Amino acid sequence: MSLDGTYDPGNIFARILRGEMPSVRVFEDDHVLAFMDVFPQARGHTLVIPKHSTARNFLEETPENIGPLMEGVQRVAKAVRAALNPDGIVITQFNGSPAGQTVYHLHVHIIPRWEGVALGRHGEGMADVEELKGLAAQISAKIA
Ligand code: 5GP
């Protein structure tokens, strides 16, 4: 899907938001939901999505939603750092399939990185749910 298109309310993240599909949740406030990526590129790979949004990508989001979304991203990224002590953190976001986007509800990736540990492939290799729950609990405990 290119940058043009229509928001599909049946997309997987919309279904997670409505509680129709399971997810390992990390943090939630009035504006954002953070949950573990089920095909993580690194240990602790977390996604942050706006809750009240029909933006498929960053370009479509309202200015009013961008601020609270990025505040949520920073808050969760700080908790990821405090919980997992990575050497670096990638914060990234893809717009349109040529850019790597596969799910069309706006989302931001928080990917911890450690020296000498290669980045996993995007969207491949399903994580163990119990392990994700453990990581989510660690991160959640550090939300300030
Ligand atoms: P995108 O490629 O659109 O930037 O990122 C979508 C992300 O969602 C990928 O990293 C992929 O691993 C993740 N993902 C896809 N389906 C699911 C799912 O059902 N649950 C969770 N938690 N993550 C998913």
Q: Does ligand 1 lie within 6 Å of residue 23's CB atom?
A: yes
Give the integer Cα–Cα distance in Å for 27 and 36: 10
Residue extents of the structural domains in the chain: 12-140
| CATH-assigned architecture of domain 12-140 | 2-Layer Sandwich (3.30)
Q: Which residues on neighbouring strands pair with residue 27, listed in sequence order?
A: 34
d(CA 77, ligand 1 centre) in Å? 18
Kindly report whether the global pTM for this prediction surpasses the value 0.85: yes
33-65 residues labelled b (16+ CB within 10 A) or e (exposed): bbbbbbebbbbbbbbbbbeebebbbeebbeeeb
Q: What is the pLDDT along the chain (144 residues), one digit of tens a residue?
A: 689 999 999 999 999 999 999 999 999 999 999 999 999 999 999 999 999 999 999 999 999 999 999 999 999 999 999 999 999 999 999 999 999 999 999 999 999 999 999 998 887 889 999 999 999 999 999 999
Smallest CA-to-CA distance from 75 within 108, 106, 101 is with: 108
